[in-house]
Structure 1
Amino acid sequence: MPAPMPDRLRLPRPPSRGRFVLTPVAMVAAAVCAWLPAVGVHAQTDDGLVLKPSAQLQEQLPRTARDQVPIFFSGDSTTGRPDLDTVIEGNAVMRKGDLVIKADRMEYYQPDDLAKARGNVHINQAGNIYEGETLELKVEAFEGFFQKPSYQFLANGAYGNADRADFIDDKRMVMHNATYSTCRREGGPSWMPAWILRATTLRIDNDEEVGIAEGGVLRFQDVPILALPEMSFPLSNKRKSGFLPPTIAVDSVNGAELTVPYYWNIAPNRDATFFPTVMARRGVDLGGEFRYLEPSYRGQVRLDYMPTDSLRDRSRWSYGLLHSGTIQTGLAPIGALGLNLNLNRVSDDNYWSDFGREGTSLTQRLLTSEAGLSWGKGNFSTSIRALKYQTLQDVTAPIVPPYDRMPQAQARYARYNVGGFDFSLDGDYSDFRADRSLTLQPNAKRSYALGQISRPWVRPGWFVTPKVMLNTTNYQFDAPLAANAATSANRTVPTFSLDSGLIFERDANFFGRALRQTLEPRAFYVNTPYRDQSALPIYDTAQNDFNLATIYTENSFSGNDRIADNNLLTLGVNSRLFEPDTGAELLNVGVAQRLRFKDQRVVLPGQPVVTDRISDFLAGASINWDPRWTFDGTVQYNQKTNRSERASISGRWSPGNYRVISAAYRYQRGLSEQIDVGWQWPINDLWGDKGKDLGPGAGLGEGRWYSVGRLNYSMYDRKLVDSVLGFEYDAGCWLGRIVLERLQTSSNSTNSKILFQLEFVGFTRLGSSPLRTLKENIPRYQYLRETITTPSRFGQYD
């Protein structure tokens, strides 16, 4: 059955705040400004943007007019004429609903609903504060002007001043020769904040939650870093259409890169982003992405086209389509069908290495294109799909392409607890296709069926589950087999297994903690008779990983081309410690080993018969004794050679927000040995300045440096495979980041990139964002700014 559609979709692009709307002239100016000290302009937020269901599906609340509420006056001296005017001298106060006006002197003309205020004028309009010397305002319409005001907005904490402010209504205003900033930290001469926007005209629209600056100059530390004829910026995280600020990056292969994206907010449930990129060494890349969300389906499409790549002397392109949803057939007995599409293609074999690893499927060596339909009702489910691969070959490390399945059909019927029995029947038909000159074996149509029945006995303290399985398979080859010249083959294999275990519990006390401890011995027996399968080709089968999960399975292989002839007993034991009140698991330790009673003769091509009567010894442990640190480890130990064959050990220490160190060691004898270390840590800790934990997405306070990075070192090759190193600085109202990224793109080539970004909190981000790189590479990395707080309603009171 297709999964139900969510009512919200979170996707990584485009940015949800910090976007500018640029005029065509501004685009030229933006390209020039990209070479100023800010390095580039970037507005992407990496924490995602939310698409919502279409407006037709949501209840739209009508906007109501201001309630007709009475006006209250107070002051040292009040005079006036009834229904005509009121004059207040000294500490004058007028209140009406959510509007408060204070001044040294105030006049109110009731027929015109006009208030005039002079001297120390203070306005609190629904939490927005304005202060100045002279005010004229039509109170009900909130229409008028304010001479030389300063202001502060409740929603985002922005503030500034202007020569004059013209109020159009209670949501919109126009300020002349104005300044704008959300930065409260003193960072420059006299009162000047660390960053500030100056504009000849500043239009504020709190209804659309957007500001528009004409003749704007953005200054950082009193140095102009961006000047545009017209720019638009958000007053919240609301989406809007417009050009985004250009981004610039420096790549060791592509050279300098300049991107000027355009974001199109088509509808609440649809949007598109166009991102043309100029690469100094390659040329122009035209890219775009479209996303959609409907009640019964969702998806996204991405296209990239480079007419001429100067380094490869050819055109380059790629596309990706991801779609999932349901199709209503209109037939009551059938109902809905699930539809899934995942299409990916690129122009050539070098695409994956030339354009780095950006976390998308288009930069992998195996690109999947798949279309599938699924249906289910009650105990029955079925699906059909077409699967095709594009294999990007590297002459220094060629790979055998996997088989396409054109098509594959599957069906399953399952019943549980029918008189105490569980049974199921699975069927699969696959048409495997590939280039026979590369696979060196014929293509085939394979039909497979698996029937199984079990009778679980589960009681407090023990369980026993006998199971009988019958596998049957038929092959139809498109060419004779090399082994016996056959064009077809059949195989039928029965399997019996018996799974059993005991569960002992006791109350325990360790290090002063009252806990519950378990001891869980387990025995798993499987018997599958030998059937000669050596002539059968391999289409979708591989050796199962040998670990504490797969050791308790009937077949040693994944896929359906080999069914291992097993006569073995697996013995193991687990012990767990958990808190009895919450059920939180603090420790899990387990060991297991196989006892084989006869040789395993069914193996993959080129592998020897398994003759060991005792398998390698497996041991694993997972420790979460304290929320601040975790530990996981598994070891595969060979008792004959008295040495480990594989080992994986990892740990993480995170004593608080923005403090995390993780390390992992992975070893496989004769193949690989790697050390992986990642961290995010405040450097100020080195000199005893711990700061104040303001919570996730708020940092540890102003004036703090953070070190971030990840190093993946291959001891087998004696070289760094991937590395990410950088620093972040939190100045409170602005953040700075610089990251060096070096990624292995092939066996003998790497790609290096410098990412630099300035983030003006609540306004925009300039430069090339490293946030996605940090989030994907550093376990439990936290954004210094992520949450958007809702203003307190008490801010409206004065």
Structure 2
Amino acid sequence: MPNMRFRSKPVVFLLLLSFTPPVLADEHAFVLKPTRSLLDLPKPTQATPLFMYADQIKGVKDSQFEATGHVEMRRLGQRVWADYLLYLQQSQELHATGSIRFDQNRNTLLGPELHLNLKTGTGDMPHPRYNLGETNAHGQAESLHIASRENYTLSNATYTTCSADKEDWILKAGTLNINQGTQIGEARDVTISWLGVPFLYSPWMDFPLNSQRKSGFLGPVFGATTKGGSELTVPYYWNIAPNMDATLAPRVMQKRGILLNNEFRYLQPSYTGEVRLNVLPSDMLTKTSRTYFGLKHQQTLPANLLGAINYNYVSDDSYFRDLSDSINSASQINLLREGVLSYNDGGWWNAQMRVQRFQTLQDPAALVVVPYHRTPQISLNALHPIATGTFKFNSEFVDFSHPTAVNGQRVVLYPSISYPLISSPGVFVTPKIGFHSTTYSMGANNAAQLPANQTRSLPIISLDSGLFFDQETSLWNPNYIQTLEPRAYFVHIPYRDQSRLPVFDTAQAGFNFDQIFSENRFIGSDRVGDANQVTTALTSRLLDRESGEERMRFILGQRFSSISPKVNLTIPTGTTNKSDILLGFSARASRTWSMDSLLQYNPSLARNELFNASARYQPEPGKVLNFGYRFMRNTLNIPNNFIDHINVSAQWPLYGRWGSVVRTNFSLHENRLVEGLAGLEYNQDCWTIRMVAQRFAVSTAQASTGFFLQLELNGLVKVGPDPLQTLRQSIPGYTKTNQPPNSASLPNLYD
């Protein structure tokens, strides 16, 4: 500190005290609590004590003081160092010259001269250099006006968050206002230069001094896609209120025209939501107007009710395939339209009513079945303890409607009771009995000529049991515990002929470890599979004794049946009494390596039905390698129809500050690229540039290719599309490498 140097010379100390000792105690209390922000300090008053150090101090009592030689003036939250200082007591005017340093509210101002009124907090400094302690931003100006302790106005000023010795980007403004009260910077006649090259001019702009929301133009977005050509988006963010905002983002596409993207968000104590409206008035390629509308709203209502709306609409089937810039939105098929009203008082029962429809977007080369609408769906569920057991009740009424298929209503009632016979840390046995009843009403003139009214009722009996053993092991590591967890699950469901029942919302369940321990091999209530079967599984894990972290897991399971299942949808379930074998293995071999795998093997046909394997190497943030392979036969038994994909993705530094990102999802069976991404990232202390090229399939016969370039000036603006969401989705473990800017240092004038 400068005052430590002053001690080596003759020092005159002056305390101007016109207040009582508690103020001094408050100042000391602040020193003992460094986490308190200077912005929260009480404003100095006329009675606030003032301390002054100097080689020489002289003055007139109750009039003025004059200090020369290594002057330091200290006041609550303020310090001034100078070669010469004149202080007028009556007006509290301060005039300092020489090598001025003025510290206030974590900010530092350097200059040759300072005029400051300690009573009003206003002042002026010619040719200043400044450092904003809250954001580490700094710069210089022709002149500076101090409007208050939080508000500064600079003329012909510069602004940057780069280090003082390497100012790679600089904002130059005719007028720059820094308001730390509102945490907003406002500039006029603005030019932004990067690496010495001016690339952006604006007559006016404002920017946040921290991460808070504020109104203003966001960085322009440049890009190019095969579907839209060269593109430019200029988004404007409108901070309407603390609980309400909007984003207007016109997107100019060379091949298609101007797509007007609009988003409005709102938040209230009892409701929240967002509205999106995108309009392309005249697509130059299709010669049509194209629109997307989306509404999401959720609201808490009186009497423990909760309402929600999710509505989506597009003007045509190809909207997302033509205009989307990500694989997730381009692959949308069924757009949800539903309204929900639910009741839940936190007790043992709840109810819900839903009206649900879909807009199905068809790909002419691969048509999909339009799902049923639910108009409405009403459910009532309960869960209540009975003695040491549990009573559960599930029920629903659904009115299914479809433009071409059979329509009808379905009522499902399913009460059940489970009762744990044994429940201890090492063993559990839980029997369960239930009665599943389903009633259909379809009318006599339905298109499929099914009976108008049908009922299916059957009991469901199950018994779930398991053991848990553990022991210390030195095979892998003396600090590990190995477990052995056998489990057996029995289900009995009698056969009922269901071939004349409609299929509204039911499908064959995927075969996995969750499904083999469930009662029904179907998803939905239109089919309840007959069963007299036992599922057995064995799990073994390695646990870290100290942290409890799972280091390795091995699981093997298979289902055995005493009957050949007869209930099916359109696909025969086969005559074998043994299911496929499931084998899973996962491990975290070290802090950097992890892997996961699952194998589904058909012993009857001696072939693999499914195999997934993935591995990840991540030694530190910014370094990750992912390897994956996925094979799955088509459940429709269509010859030569299966998934056979290799997936490789990585984020890895190259040389110096350069880094790379890559993602490849390749179909071996179709011999085509499903998704590909490659990019470079250069990270400096105060800016980052990202270049990303992406290609992904939007349909069976079409693909979209795009190239995006983003320049991020830390603490100011992002110019170009933000690829971070795409990178996080495409590359598991991706980490943003540029951190908040380092402190921008100012030279010590007293060295």
Who is 1:238 aligned against? Answer: 212
Letter in 2 for 1:240: K
Who is 2:380 aligned against? Answer: 411
The CA deviation at 1:363 is 6.2
Q: Secondary structure at the match of 1:746?
A: coil
The CA deviation at 1:768 is 2.0
1:645-794 correspondence to structure 2 within 5 Å: 645-669=609-633, 670-684=641-655, 703-785=656-738
Contact persistence 1:481–1:535 (CA under 8 A): no
The CA deviation at 1:788 is 8.7
Does residue 486 (structure 1) correspond to residue 451 (structure 2)? The answer is: yes
Of residues 221, 225, 250, the one that matches 1:247 is 221
Letter in 2 for 1:384: M
Higher RCO structure (Cα 8 Å, ≥6 apart): 1
The CA deviation at 1:296 is 2.2
Who is 2:464 aligned against? Answer: 499
Question: In the aligned structure 2, how far is the partner of 1:185 from the partner of 1:754?
Answer: 34
Does residue 471 (structure 1) correspond to residue 436 (structure 2)? The answer is: yes
Does residue 125 (structure 1) correspond to residue 104 (structure 2)? The answer is: yes
Does residue 108 (structure 1) correspond to residue 76 (structure 2)? The answer is: no
**Deviates most, 506-515 or 470-479:** 506-515
Count the aligned residue pairs.
699
Who is 2:369 aligned against? Answer: 400
Contact persistence 1:285–1:306 (CA under 8 A): yes
Q: Secondary structure at the match of 1:630?
A: strand
Question: In the aligned structure 2, how far is the partner of 1:143 from the partner of 1:359?
Answer: 56
1:176–1:485 distance in 2 versus 1, CA, 3 Å: closer
Question: In the aligned structure 2, how far is the partner of 1:534 from the partner of 1:291?
Answer: 49
Question: In the aligned structure 2, how far is the partner of 1:705 from the partner of 1:662?
Answer: 20
Who is 2:314 aligned against? Answer: 346
Who is 1:303 aligned against? Answer: 277
Q: Aligned-pair RMSD on alpha carbons?
A: 2.2
Q: Deviations over 1:156-185 (max 9, x none)?
A: 111111111111111112211211111116
Does residue 218 (structure 1) correspond to residue 192 (structure 2)? The answer is: yes
Question: In the aligned structure 2, how far is the partner of 1:62 from the partner of 1:178?
Answer: 28
Contact persistence 1:356–1:745 (CA under 8 A): no
Letter in 2 for 1:168: A
Who is 2:399 aligned against? Answer: 431
Of residues 360, 366, 372, the one that matches 2:334 is 366
Question: In the aligned structure 2, how far is the partner of 1:551 from the partner of 1:250?
Answer: 48
Q: Deviations over 1:480-509 (max 9, x none)?
A: 467765222111121211111211121223
Q: Secondary structure at the match of 2:728?
A: helix
1:393–1:322 distance in 2 versus 1, CA, 3 Å: same
The CA deviation at 1:513 is 3.6
The CA deviation at 1:358 is 4.1
Does residue 638 (structure 1) correspond to residue 602 (structure 2)? The answer is: yes
Letter in 2 for 1:683: L
Of residues 136, 142, 163, the one that matches 1:184 is 163
Who is 2:500 aligned against? Answer: 535
Letter in 1 for 2:501: L
The CA deviation at 1:634 is 0.7
Question: In the aligned structure 2, how far is the partner of 1:265 from the partner of 1:392?
Answer: 35
Question: In the aligned structure 2, how far is the partner of 1:210 from the partner of 1:469?
Answer: 64
The CA deviation at 1:152 is 0.8
Letter in 2 for 1:681: W
TM-score (norm 1): 0.84
Q: Secondary structure at the match of 1:399?
A: coil
1:791–1:734 distance in 2 versus 1, CA, 3 Å: closer
TM-score (norm 2): 0.90
1:391–1:479 distance in 2 versus 1, CA, 3 Å: farther
Contact persistence 1:263–1:274 (CA under 8 A): yes
The CA deviation at 1:638 is 2.0
Contact persistence 1:185–1:733 (CA under 8 A): no
Who is 1:422 aligned against? Answer: 390
Question: In the aligned structure 1, how far is the partner of 2:102 from the partner of 2:704?
Answer: 56
Q: Deviations over 1:441-476 (max 9, x none)?
A: 411111111111121121232111111121111111
Q: Secondary structure at the match of 1:611?
A: coil
1:551-590 correspondence to structure 2 within 5 Å: 551-590=516-555
Bigger CA radius of gyration: 2
Does residue 462 (structure 1) correspond to residue 427 (structure 2)? The answer is: yes
1:587–1:393 distance in 2 versus 1, CA, 3 Å: same
Contact persistence 1:318–1:347 (CA under 8 A): yes
Who is 2:16 aligned against? Answer: none
Of residues 280, 289, 301, the one that matches 1:315 is 289
1:34-53 correspondence to structure 2 within 5 Å: none
Question: In the aligned structure 1, how far is the partner of 2:93 from the partner of 2:43?
Answer: 18
Of residues 600, 607, 624, the one that matches 2:588 is 624
The CA deviation at 1:387 is 0.3
Contact persistence 1:590–1:621 (CA under 8 A): yes
Question: In the aligned structure 2, how far is the partner of 1:165 from the partner of 1:253?
Answer: 51
1:160–1:653 distance in 2 versus 1, CA, 3 Å: same
Question: In the aligned structure 2, how far is the partner of 1:484 from the partner of 1:752?
Answer: 49
Q: Deviations over 1:365-386 (max 9, x none)?
A: 1100110011123211110000
Q: Deviations over 1:8-33 (max 9, x none)?
A: xxxxxxxxxxxxxxxxxxxxxxxxxx
**Deviates most, 261-270 or 621-630:** 621-630
List gaps (5 residues or longer) in structure 2.
Answer: 1-38, 634-640
1:213–1:483 distance in 2 versus 1, CA, 3 Å: closer
Question: In the aligned structure 2, how far is the partner of 1:445 from the partner of 1:338?
Answer: 25
Q: Secondary structure at the match of 1:725?
A: strand
**Deviates most, 279-288 or 637-646:** 637-646
Does residue 200 (structure 1) correspond to residue 174 (structure 2)? The answer is: yes
Q: Secondary structure at the match of 2:588?
A: strand
The CA deviation at 1:574 is 0.7
Q: Deviations over 1:533-572 (max 9, x none)?
A: 0111211111111111211111110100001011112121
Who is 1:546 aligned against? Answer: 511
Q: Deviations over 1:112-138 (max 9, x none)?
A: 211111111111112211111122111
1:104–1:483 distance in 2 versus 1, CA, 3 Å: closer
**Deviates most, 612-621 or 578-587:** 578-587
Question: In the aligned structure 2, how far is the partner of 1:585 from the partner of 1:428?
Answer: 40
Question: In the aligned structure 2, how far is the partner of 1:291 from the partner of 1:465?
Answer: 48
Q: Deviations over 1:239-277 (max 9, x none)?
A: 222233432221111112222222111111111111122
Contact persistence 1:483–1:535 (CA under 8 A): no
Contact persistence 2:714–2:741 (CA under 8 A): no
Q: Secondary structure at the match of 2:162?
A: coil
Q: Secondary structure at the match of 1:352?
A: helix
Contact persistence 2:265–2:275 (CA under 8 A): yes
Contact persistence 2:685–2:738 (CA under 8 A): no
Contact persistence 2:205–2:217 (CA under 8 A): no
1:482–1:122 distance in 2 versus 1, CA, 3 Å: closer
List gaps (5 residues or longer) in structure 1.
Answer: 1-60, 188-192, 329-334, 685-702
Question: In the aligned structure 1, how far is the partner of 2:742 from the partner of 2:357?
Answer: 47
Question: In the aligned structure 2, how far is the partner of 1:229 from the partner of 1:480?
Answer: 71
Question: In the aligned structure 1, how far is the partner of 2:98 from the partner of 2:58?
Answer: 18
Q: Secondary structure at the match of 1:275?
A: strand
Contact persistence 2:408–2:441 (CA under 8 A): yes
Letter in 2 for 1:671: F
The CA deviation at 1:327 is 0.3
Letter in 2 for 1:475: Y
Question: In the aligned structure 2, how far is the partner of 1:265 from the partner of 1:494?
Answer: 59
Q: Secondary structure at the match of 1:354?
A: helix
The CA deviation at 1:186 is 4.3
Question: In the aligned structure 1, how far is the partner of 2:165 from the partner of 2:139?
Answer: 14
Q: Secondary structure at the match of 2:582?
A: strand
Q: Secondary structure at the match of 2:281?
A: strand
